[in-house]
Amino acid sequence: MLLHLEFESNIPIYKQISNQIVVGIAKGDLVEGEELPSVRQMASDIGINMHTVNKAYGILKQAGWVTIHRKKGVLVSTNLKAQEDYLFLGALRDLLEVSIAEAFLRGIKKCEFTKLIEEKYNEFEGGIS
């Protein structure tokens, strides 16, 4: 599991980390119960500050993607709070609106857009089979 961080990006580093870990889980690169490096370890590996990694882990913990095990450290988890699904869908709808509007105006066809989605989905489902 290698992280690719863009320090020049306007996306905060801690967000890039948490994002990539979620994607890693979806792709099957990270499996349930797997141990993530300690905050200090990952920080020194990447060459960033411990607190930045800590914040990323905090977000993941909050959302349920990892759990902090007192003996084993930070473990990948998929214990999502189901009741948050509808909140997620609402946020997703908002997030998509602008992108779709822009794609539409650029003349990108509906099927091109959905194909993009399906490709990504397939990447993830491939991790399962």
Partner DNA sequence: GTGGTCTAGACCACG
Partner DNA sequence: GTGGTCTAGACCACA
Contact flags string 63-102 toward its own copies, x per CB under 8 A: ----xxxxxx--x--x-x--x-x--xx--xx-xxxxxxxx
Q: Choose the contact partner of 83 out of its own copies, DNA, none; CB within 5 to 8 A by kind.
A: its own copies
Q: Half-sphere exposure of 66 toward its Cβ, with a 13 Å CA cutoff?
A: 30
Of 38 and 113, CB closest to DNA: 38
Q: Which of 30, 123, 126, 112 has its CA nearest to residue 76?
A: 30
Q: Is 1 in the site for its own copies (CB under 8 A)?
A: no
Q: Which of 20, 50, 29 has its CA nearest to residue 38?
A: 50
Of 33 and 40, CB closest to its own copies: 33
